[in-house]
Amino acid sequence: MAYLISQAKKFNIDTFVIDVNGQSKSYAASVKNVIQNGIHYVARIVIFPHGGTHAQVTDKSIWQRRLNLAKYAENLGASAIQLDYIRYRSENPASPEKAKNILKVVQYFKKEVSPTLLQMDIFGISTLRPAHTIGQDPASLAVAVNAFCPMVYPSHYEPFVFHSNRPYETVFNSVASLKKILQNHPGVAIYAYIEAYNYRFFLSPTKRTQYIKAEIKAAHDAGANGWYVWSATNHYAPLFQALATR
């Protein structure tokens, strides 16, 4: 944690997204350390792991358990609650009704955590068109969030090779499309999630640095309010290397 905080200060990174899965003294101490160092704490909460079934999405007892985590994070000083995996499972049939059900869940959290800001992670593909298979339609969900965090990882767009070779274009087009969708919701921010490495293909250190820089530039050029960086291994040295050579 000390390394991450020192690098954050060096490169003017002002926010850490930290998963909250339960309560512990060590977790609270880590969050306190982050906040005391002038870094915003955003609490990420997985709502429906791997996506929910219809029974799970409509189960208010699940909502309440996740809300308990949000309340815990608020008490620790969270500047925002970030909802992730707030969607149906990908293999389920597509239906516009799914977005309506997801909206009910988001509205529940919005009401319960206010005035704390509410963010929602969404699939990159939903920035281009409504994702009715998983119930993510930003145009209808915008009324209940303060920010969308589109996961615009180039490695996750088909065809994979095509988009992996075009990180700037992939990120730019998705963020620009989402901004257009949200033109009637000017108060909703966009924080683009980019990746610290290509999830599917090996990149040399030099290529990886170029890849990250292209993603960051694209998010900025397309008008995102900011960006988050995802690393499945919590290895952020490539990000700091990219920032050092901007």
For position 101, which CATH number holds?
Answer: 3.20.20.80
Does residue 246 surpass a pLDDT of 90?
Answer: no
CA distance 128 to 15: 27
* 93 phi/psi in degrees, rounded to 5: -60, 150
Average pLDDT over residues 32-47: 99
User: Contact 240/7 with Cβ under 8 angstroms?
Assistant: yes
* Six token digits for residue 58: 């409509």
* Six token digits for residue 201: 């293909």
The mean predicted confidence, pLDDT, of the chain is 97
Average pLDDT over residues 147-159: 96
* 25 phi/psi in degrees, rounded to 5: -65, -35
The predicted pLDDT at position 231 comes to 95
Who's near 86: CB < 8 A, 6+ residues apart? 47, 48, 102, 105, 106, 120, 121
Who's near 223: CB < 8 A, 6+ residues apart? 175, 176, 179, 190
User: Contact 150/122 with Cβ under 8 angstroms?
Assistant: yes
Render pLDDT for 181-203 as a digit per residue (tens, 0 to 9). 999 999 999 999 999 999 899 99
Alpha-carbon separation of residue 63 from 13, 48, 67 (angstroms): 31, 9, 6
Residue numbers of the domain that contains 133: 2-244
Render pLDDT for 59-82 as a digit per residue (tens, 0 to 9). 999 999 999 999 999 999 999 999
Render pLDDT for 190-239 as a digit per residue (tens, 0 to 9). 999 999 999 899 999 999 999 999 999 999 999 999 999 999 899 999 99
- Residue owning tokens 């993603």: 215
User: Contact 167/195 with Cβ under 8 angstroms?
Assistant: no
Alpha-carbon separation of residue 149 from 64, 126, 195, 224 (angstroms): 23, 11, 13, 10
Q: How many domains does the chain divide into?
A: 1
User: Contact 174/129 with Cβ under 8 angstroms?
Assistant: no
Alpha-carbon separation of residue 115 from 20, 60, 66 (angstroms): 19, 21, 17
Pairing of strands 147-151, 80-84: unpaired
The predicted pLDDT at position 91 comes to 81
CA distance 191 to 230: 12
pLDDT band at 116 (very low <50, low <70, confident <90, very high): very high
